[in-house]
Amino acid sequence: MKVTVDEDKCCGAGSCVLAAPDVFDQRDEDGVVVLLDPEPAEHLHAAVREAAEVCPAAAILLGERA
């Protein structure tokens, strides 16, 4: 799984951090999403998928890729 984020879309909701704290964080200054791990391990995939779906700004994109 390959994760990308569109910082421009991010509204700083932090829903992604609640869903997958190992993969997402927020910048201190403006709350914009920080991608901690663009290629998360298998056991995190479900949480990352959830994070992408609950992001209220559709700012998280998932690509299939080893």
Q: Which residues bind ligand SF4 (CB under 6 A)?
A: 5, 10-16, 24, 26, 33, 55-57, 59-60
Nearest residue to 9 via CA among 61, 62, 64, 58: 58
**Looking only at residues 24 through 53 of this chain, which bind another protein when binding is defined by CB under 8 A?**
26-28, 30-31, 46-47, 49-51, 53
Closest distance of CB 38 from another protein, Å: 18
The residues, ordered by sequence, that sit 6+ positions from 14 with a Cβ below 8 Å of its Cβ are: 26, 31
Query: Any contact of residue 56 with another protein (CB under 8 A)?
Result: yes
Query: Any contact of residue 5 with another protein (CB under 8 A)?
Result: no
Cβ–Cβ < 8 Å for 24, 34: yes
